[in-house]
């Protein structure tokens, strides 16, 4: 009986203990259901996001249903979007940062299937993984369950994920810890941090191929590359403390292309299939491939140019014509005819002066010949005695001397530095191109969409497409040599510069090829990596630091440095003239304001801007000559008018005639017949004097007048007053005019006085 009482007492105690335990557990469960959502809301609110997505789907009879309800209540203050887990097959691609929250059940029979459903909807191709964060609420989950969940999350290449199992129990994972993948408990409130700061020598899969400028293999490609791309790849691996595993595209398609069936080749296939993490060959990405990969920020542009054979040298006979521009030749011709016409006109006006002597070679064709000779440097044999016309000639001689000196100097320079025909610098001139255009077929595909129908038609007619593996070396050099430099190429900017250097013609001191200034297409130059890659932000961070430090530009300049076996100072000068930046723009090379402008200014066609000094000198000479001619013409016209109407010499001579032999003329007339003959001679003299003073007859044409004028001069020189006047007239034309006028006056006086 006692035994039965003891059993009953112990049984009641056990029942009461179990009841108390269940009551206590219920209170703890309710507290946990409130604390976990509150912690999740606190973490979510501390990290700004464009949208907060809550995935629901826990059954109502599940113990985690209360967690989900409390989470919805707590997140109501944030911009939240609720999605039913069953209705989602794959997480959509977000172009913005997001924050996703999930609630899981701790019951083993439910957790495995629910974890699989959650991880299946996670998008492993989600771009910019580092801006997307995930929180899992999983009450009382074991370490094995956490490892199962977080390892499945890492398989989706998701870095920012935490699991909250209790108020002080928050877990994440380290994918590249020294021992490998581990689960880590967070104790310092740093929930989302950089997990790729140290890869502990784990592999970084890099797919690369040889590029003769930017990725030059070492002794073996598996050991790495030099060049700007090779140095960048090696330094990235060292920065992450990773082991670089270099591979090459198995199909030798290098950059890769999009096939009509939707598949890809080259490095594109390696990245899209997941066999490589990144490709460090700088490239441009066409739209067909851009949707399947991610790109780092493009700090440079890659321009595609058309490289054509350089223009031929102009024929030697054209050197004499091309020294001046066509406009200047026309201006010089018009100026010469205008100068000749003005001089002929001024000379005709000067000859109308009563005292003027006709110019010895004054006919218009003789004047034309004289100006041609003086223009070519011959001396003038005879010229006008008028000072203003002499000044006119001096101005023309100075102008001709300057012009011919510059012209012959330009001819000498043209023989030393030959002139070449105009280069092809516009796509509108493609119809003039008579050579085939070689290029990798992906380049033709790239430029086709950027060109007009007419331009693409001209290129397509001449296109010779090459396989993609030709991009590993400068195929343009052997092709151009084989075709005797008669070929054109589609090349990227830096390749075009290297090609110009390698084909530089030292004998002619100019490149054999010319880059058309109007480029075919410009696209961002970038590195590509696997879509959804977790490494994107680390690569981008390192690239930004390298760019800001100037190392990318420094490496690019080193890659282009000419180290060929035929180095000469002309090639070095040509290399220095080329722009040093990676973004090759040929206008920098052809601009007279850029580097090497002094050398480029050697080949300048003389134009009016250069020769304007000679024309200003000539214009001033013409103006002063015309003004001087007008003053001189006016002065002599007034002077001759005074001398003819009232001769000053006649007044002084009249006072001496009182004792002359003519005082007895009235009483003495023995020879009337002789007087008549004398009157006829006087009339002939007066007529000759009138013709010369009027300008109709040149001086020296009448021998009778010349002999009588000499006798008259000798006669009046006996009078001191007349001799004084004659000595003051130093000019020969003025002295002759004075004698003619006074002889005329004296003869008229004799006739009027009846002496003859």
> What CA–CA distance (Å, rounded) separates 699 from 360?
11
- Alpha helix positions (H), 212-304: 227-239, 266-273, 287-290
CB 193 within 8 Å of CB 538: no
CATH 1.10.3470 holds for 26-185? no
Note the pLDDT of residue 353: 62
Note the pLDDT of residue 327: 85
CA angle, residues 231, 233, 234, in degrees to nearest 5: 65
Which residues fall within 8 angstroms of residue 506, CB to CB, at 6 or more apart?
566, 568, 570, 571
Note the pLDDT of residue 545: 92
> What CA–CA distance (Å, rounded) separates 474 from 501?
12
Listed by start position, the domains of the chain span: 26-185, 313-419+605-645, 646-753
- Enumerate residue ranges in the chain where pLDDT < 50: 1-28, 562-566, 580-603, 643-668
Note the pLDDT of residue 513: 92
> What CA–CA distance (Å, rounded) separates 557 from 581?
7
Nearest Cα to Cα of residue 293 among 283, 302, 285: 285
Count Cβ atoms within 10 A of the Cβ of residue 526 and give its class: 0-12 exposed, 13-18 middle, 19 or more buried. Answer: buried
> In 3-state terms, what secondary structure has residue 303?
strand
Treating both helix axes as pointing N-terminal to C-terminal, what angle do 108-121 and 143-155 enclose, rounded to 10 degrees?
20
HEC string of 453-517 equals HHHHHHHHHHEEEECHHHHHCCCHHHHHHHCCCCCEEEEEHHHHHHHHHHCEECCCCEECEEECC
Q: How far is CA 510 from CA 412, 449, 522, 563, 605, in A?
A: 19, 34, 27, 18, 18
pTM over 0.75: no
Q: Which two tokens stand for residue 90?
A: 């794959």
């Amino acid at each position: 009986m006692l035994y039965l009482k003891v059993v009953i007492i112990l049984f009641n105690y056990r029942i009461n203990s179990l009841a108390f335990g269940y009551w206590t557990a219920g209170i703890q469960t309710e507290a946990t259901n409130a604390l976990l959502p509150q912690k999740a809301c606190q973490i979510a609110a501390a990290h700004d996001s464009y949208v907060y997505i809550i995935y629901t789907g826990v059954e109502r009879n599940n113990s985690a249903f209360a967690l989900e309800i409390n989470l919805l209540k707590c997140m109501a203050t944030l911009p939240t979007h609720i999605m039913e887990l069953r209705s989602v097959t794959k997480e959509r691609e977000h172009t913005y940062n997001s924050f996703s929250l999930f609630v899981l059940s701790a019951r083993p029979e439910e957790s495995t299937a629910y974890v699989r459903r959650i991880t299946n909807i996670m998008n492993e191709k989600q771009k910019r993984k580092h801006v997307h964060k995930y929180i899992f609420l999983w009450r009382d989950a074991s370490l094995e369950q956490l490892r199962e969940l977080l390892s499945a999350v890492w398989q989706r290449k998701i870095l920012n994920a935490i699991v909250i199992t209790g108020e002080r129990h928050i877990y994440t994972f380290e994918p590249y810890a020294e021992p490998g993948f581990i689960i880590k408990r967070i104790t310092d409130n740093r929930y989302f941090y950089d997990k790729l700061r140290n890869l502990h020598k784990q592999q970084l899969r890099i797919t690369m191929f040889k590029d003769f400028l930017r990725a030059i293999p070492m002794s073996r490609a598996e050991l790495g590359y030099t060049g700007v791309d090779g140095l960048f790849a090696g330094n990235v691996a060292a920065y992450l403390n990773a082991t670089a595993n270099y591979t090459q595209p198995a199909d030798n398609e290098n950059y890769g292309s999009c096939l009509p069936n939707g598949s890809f080749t080259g490095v594109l296939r390696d990245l899209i299939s997941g066999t490589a993490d990144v490709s460090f060959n700088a490239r441009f990405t066409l739209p067909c491939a851009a949707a399947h990969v991610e790109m780092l920020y493009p700090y440079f542009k890659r321009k595609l140019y058309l490289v054509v054979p350089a223009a031929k040298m102009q024929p030697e006979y054209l050197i004499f014509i091309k020294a001046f521009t066509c406009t200047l030749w026309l201006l010089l011709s018009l100026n010469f005819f205008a100068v000749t016409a003005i001089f002929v006109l001024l000379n005709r006006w000067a000859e109308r002066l009563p005292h003027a002597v006709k110019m010895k070679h004054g006919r218009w064709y003789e004047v034309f010949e004289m100006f041609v000779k003086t223009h070519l440097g011959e001396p003038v044999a005879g010229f006008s005695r008028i000072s203003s016309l002499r000044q006119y000639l001096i101005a023309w001689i100075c102008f001709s001397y300057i012009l011919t000196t510059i012209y012959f100097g330009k001819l000498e320079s043209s023989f030393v530095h030959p002139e070449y025909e105009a280069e092809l610098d516009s796509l509108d001139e493609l119809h003039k191109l008579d050579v085939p255009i070689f290029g990798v077929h992906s380049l033709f595909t790239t430029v086709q969409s950027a060109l007009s129908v007419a331009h693409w038609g001209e290129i397509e007619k001449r296109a010779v497409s090459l396989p993609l593996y030709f991009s590993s070396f400068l195929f343009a050099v052997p092709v151009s040599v084989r075709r005797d430099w008669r070929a054109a190429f589609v090349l990227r900017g830096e390749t075009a510069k290297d090609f110009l250097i390698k084909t530089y013609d030292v004998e002619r001191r100019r490149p054999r090829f010319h880059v058309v200034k109007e480029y075919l297409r410009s696209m961002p130059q970038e590195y590509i990596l696997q879509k959804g890659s977790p490494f994107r932000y680390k690569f981008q961070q390192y690239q930004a630091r390298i760019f800001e430090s100037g190392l990318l530009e420094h490496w690019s300049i080193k890659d282009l440095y000419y180290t060929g076996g035929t180095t000469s100072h002309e090639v070095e000068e040509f290399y220095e003239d080329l722009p040093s930046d990676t973004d090759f723009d040929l206008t920098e090379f052809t601009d007279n304001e850029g580097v090497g402008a002094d050398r480029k200014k050697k080949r300048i066609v003389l134009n009016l801007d250069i020769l304007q000094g000679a024309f200003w000198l000539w214009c001033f000479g013409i103006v002063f000559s015309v003004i001087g001619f007008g003053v001189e013409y006016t002065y002599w016209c007034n002077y001759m008018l005074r001398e003819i109407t009232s001769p000053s010499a006649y007044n002084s001579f009249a006072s001496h005639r009182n004792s002359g032999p003519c005082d007895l003329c009235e009483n003495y007339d023995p020879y009337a017949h002789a007087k008549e003959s004398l009157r006829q001679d006087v009339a002939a003299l007066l007529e000759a004097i009138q013709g010369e003073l009027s300008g109709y007859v040149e001086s020296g044409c009448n021998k009778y007048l010349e002999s009588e004028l000499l006798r008259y001069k000798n006669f009046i020189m006996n009078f001191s007053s007349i001799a004084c006047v004659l000595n003051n007239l130093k000019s020969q034309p003025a002295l002759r005019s004075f004698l003619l006028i006074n002889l005329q006056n004296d003869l008229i006086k004799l006739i009027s006085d009846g002496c003859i």
